[in-house]
Structure 1
Amino acid sequence: MIVLIDQSKLKSVMAWRLFLSKTLNLTPPLPNPKILKICEFSTSFLVTKIPKKLRKKHKKPESARTRPVQPHASTHSRLESILTRDSTFRFLTRTKQFLSKQPQRVLRLDDAGKLHRELGFPRGRKVLKSIQRHPLIFETYRHVDNKMWFGFTDFAEELLQEESSIMDAMEIDRVKKVRKLLMMSKDKRIPLSTIYHNRLLFGIPEDFRDRVAKYPEYFRIVVENDGKRILELVNWGPTLAVSELEKQFVVSEDTVVKAFKFPVKYGKDLGLDENDTRKLNLLNTLPLVSPYSDGWKLDMWSLEAEKYRVGIVHEFLNLTVEKRASIHNIVEFKEEFSLTRRTYEMLKKQPRTFYLAGTEMNWAVFLKDAYDENGALIDKDPQVIFNEKLYNFAQMQQREVFSGIDEK
């Protein structure tokens, strides 16, 4: 069978194919020879890492959280080590406080794991590891409810009884400390909560809020409209209204004079030599404004007001059992003692008397004269002696090996 093809239609089809091939460029493009030459083999699927040894260590930018208060050349390593010791025993001290207030002085381990802030162990860590670091102080056991609990060892209970005896013996001294704090305060009144939060700083017992009721001649508790309980001073004690600086001034005037430096701000250059300048500054240094005066009425930015605030901090530190305090302790009394935000700068200007340790955000201030060259307190409060003994036992794994320390 012969099929006849219309020649005109065949020519039109071939013309359209030729036109489309030229306009749409249907032929595949040739590969780029440059690309083939460079990327003969792809390594994009390989995971390449630089070894840690060869990585560049980028220094974290300094901030107030990490920047030390003291330059390296001026650092007192012994005093700085006290803050390190506090950090080491944070779990011990906080857990001792918290556990002492619990029924039967025990706590379920599952509950303790959620109390990292109250017990002082790092967030995200297991509390059991911190407990096991102090086997002479804390112990764990399985209760009848098949849950793990922890509490004090029998030996630790003996230590707590010893501490309670110290608190009873030092009660009169602690009453004097609280009276002096109230006498220094602006309105002769301080919230009970403020004293309670800082009780360890002054060696004040846990139940001091109940003990003050035994001294109505000194204290009065007032409940404000918002329910806040305030401790007020009832009677002024003239014999107590003498600061430690004033006592030192009577013994050695020259020592106190050299303890502080308040340089005069001259309106113009007086052309004085070094000796005359020192004498002029000396005239402006004394007398110090007593912390038991109404110094809070002075012009806030005057020299006399600064002397008053320096005296307040100096007397405040003298009332502490370790002659030191952290920024957090001082801030809690800011309103009562009329302190300003420039307290840090104020203390930095008195390096002969105060030593600031730690970082700019979390610093502590020490009374330098209260410590010897080895960083040990010269006059130790009984509470300080007990704390040091507790720290020694907390580092031990077995009591028998160190039984001789029991009698110290």
Structure 2
Amino acid sequence: MLVIWKKSQNTDALASSLWRRECGNPWVIQRRFMARERKRKRIRQVSFDVMISREKHVRQALWLKDLLVTRPGHTISMIDFREEVKNLGMRVRRLYYLLEYYDTLFQTRVDRAKVEWIELGEDGRRIVELERRLMAEYEPCLVENLRKLLMMSEGEKICLKRIALLREPLGLPHDFEQNLVHKYPQYFEVVIAKDKKYRDLQPFLKLTSWDPLLAISRREADAEESERDPHSFRMRFPGVKFVRGRDAQFLKSFQMLEFPSPYDPNHGYPKLSREAVKRAVAVIHEFLCLTQESKALVDSIAEIRRETGIPKKIGELICRHPGIFYLSWKGALARHPHMEVVYLKEAYSKPYEGERLKAARLLRKGPLVQVKEAMALTMWHADLAYDKRHGTDCFLEGRQFPMITYDAFESTFQSELYREQKIKYENL
């Protein structure tokens, strides 16, 4: 018995060694297969990744501006500022350049108790006033987008905490609960219900009246205007050879499926069916159309996942449809794990010829994008003024230029802010 056991053991070892030699290690094959699948599903497009790098300083300046606006007197002490930055997981010294280079946006002062404070500068106050004026002017548009978001959710209600996390991409004001919710009782009401995520009673924003005229998605409206296929999405791929073989068959069958309306939460499709997947893609597509820049963080979409019927693996769903969306990992690679940004491709066009950094151009601009462009233009002129005073070059020092595109010049070239910044720069 002992000899037979040894013989069988040697035979099994010999067979396994021959199998590995002929077929290779199964775990290596699986890893290679997974890497090949991941590479096939996602191909990097520099035009979208460059936008995140160019907007880095502008996003930080807008964050500091929003922080000051929420504080009484639009001021914050340096101690509280450091605590807020640490809570975000950032380093304080990396934001000190905002106070050094852009003194027209943010200023520092020391009171009698020798406490250092940060406050808005002259240009910062004008940008805040511009934002208030735009929000008052386009308030009906913001209310309509919020109504559409509630119409896509199950039960026509979403937790107020989750809507607060969606405030930035949707362009809602800081005090939207007082200015929008209570201002329009014919559309909204606040109810108390149990939330599955927080597992306790939470205030929910509920829609009081259904409007069938709003239950038309952007894709359906574009299909009626251009007389395109009413069931297909508009796609754009990075290359001609990108779609072939099984990918082409999958996309063809996916496009031929009947288009499910994202404003029908009680659709009755089985989970993970082809129809349910297409409806999830339609919901993400419609949500990105409601945002100001046709882009959002993946975490922002995950906040409304349960209410809208989107599956858990949102990143895989987005990567599965590279012709409709683009998932950028630029922020995640830069030590920001929650900065995976998804873009709606049809809202962007190719970069301009001769542009130094090949960044995509935004075609569908929300009204509040002007605030971002005004901030970028002010920072650009502040960089030029700083270099002229000190005889330096921002490119040589490693300071990246803010998000300056030709679209920003077209929309703000005749503005009062641009003329005043130009006069300041010429008089230095």
TM-score by length of 1: 0.72
Distance 1:258 1:278 in 2: 15
Aligned to 1:218: 187
Distance 1:189 1:301 in 2: 24
Distance 1:253 1:128 in 2: 51
Distance 1:218 1:142 in 2: 47
Aligned residue identity for 2:368: Q
CA 1:163–1:281 in structure 2 vs 1: closer, same or farther (change >3 Å)? closer
CA 1:247–1:200 in structure 2 vs 1: closer, same or farther (change >3 Å)? same
CA 1:281–1:140 in structure 2 vs 1: closer, same or farther (change >3 Å)? closer
Aligned residue identity for 2:206: E
CA 1:159–1:282 in structure 2 vs 1: closer, same or farther (change >3 Å)? same
* Residue correspondence of structure 1 range 311-390 to structure 2 within 5 A: 311-358=282-329, 362-374=339-351, 375-390=360-375
Q: Deviations over 1:240-298 (max 9, x none)?
A: 0011111122233248636369xxxxxxxxxxxx9xx9699448723211101135532
Gaps in structure 1 of 5+ consecutive residues: 1-68, 262-273
Structure number with larger C-alpha Rg: 1
* CA-CA distance at 1:337 after TM superposition: 1.3
* Residue correspondence of structure 1 range 11-26 to structure 2 within 5 A: none
Equivalenced residues, count = 326
Gaps in structure 2 of 5+ consecutive residues: 1-37, 195-199, 237-244, 352-359, 389-408, 419-428
1:196 to 156, 159, 164: 164
* Greater percentage in helix: 2
> Is 1:219–1:232's contact at 8 Å kept on the other side of the alignment?
yes
* Residue correspondence of structure 1 range 115-126 to structure 2 within 5 A: 115-117=84-86, 122-123=90-91, 125=93
CA 1:256–1:134 in structure 2 vs 1: closer, same or farther (change >3 Å)? farther
* CA-CA distance at 1:345 after TM superposition: 1.6
Aligned to 1:41: none
CA 1:378–1:280 in structure 2 vs 1: closer, same or farther (change >3 Å)? closer
Q: Which moved more, 1:277-286 or 1:223-232?
A: 277-286
CA 1:365–1:394 in structure 2 vs 1: closer, same or farther (change >3 Å)? same
Distance 1:140 1:367 in 2: 40
Q: Which moved more, 1:316-325 or 1:295-304?
A: 295-304
* CA-CA distance at 1:84 after TM superposition: 1.7
Distance 1:90 1:258 in 2: 31
CA 1:136–1:296 in structure 2 vs 1: closer, same or farther (change >3 Å)? farther
* Residue correspondence of structure 1 range 54-69 to structure 2 within 5 A: none
Aligned to 2:137: 169
> Is 2:217–2:262's contact at 8 Å kept on the other side of the alignment?
yes
Aligned residue identity for 1:373: K
TM-score by length of 2: 0.68
> Is 1:91–1:121's contact at 8 Å kept on the other side of the alignment?
no
Alignment of 1:294 with 2:269, yes or no, is no
1:253 to 200, 207, 228: 228
CA 1:196–1:70 in structure 2 vs 1: closer, same or farther (change >3 Å)? farther
Alignment of 1:185 with 2:160, yes or no, is no
CA 1:260–1:290 in structure 2 vs 1: closer, same or farther (change >3 Å)? farther
Aligned to 2:120: 152
CA 1:287–1:396 in structure 2 vs 1: closer, same or farther (change >3 Å)? same
Identity percentage over the alignment? Answer: 26
* Residue correspondence of structure 1 range 41-56 to structure 2 within 5 A: none
Distance 1:205 1:397 in 2: 27
> Is 1:136–1:396's contact at 8 Å kept on the other side of the alignment?
no
Aligned to 1:393: 378
Aligned to 2:176: 208
Aligned residue identity for 1:209: E
> Is 1:70–1:356's contact at 8 Å kept on the other side of the alignment?
no
> Is 1:248–1:256's contact at 8 Å kept on the other side of the alignment?
no
Aligned to 2:62: 93
> Is 1:323–1:366's contact at 8 Å kept on the other side of the alignment?
yes
Q: Deviations over 1:107-162 (max 9, x none)?
A: 112332232146x6832637534422322210111112222211101221122111
Q: Which moved more, 1:244-253 or 1:315-324?
A: 244-253
CA 1:145–1:404 in structure 2 vs 1: closer, same or farther (change >3 Å)? farther
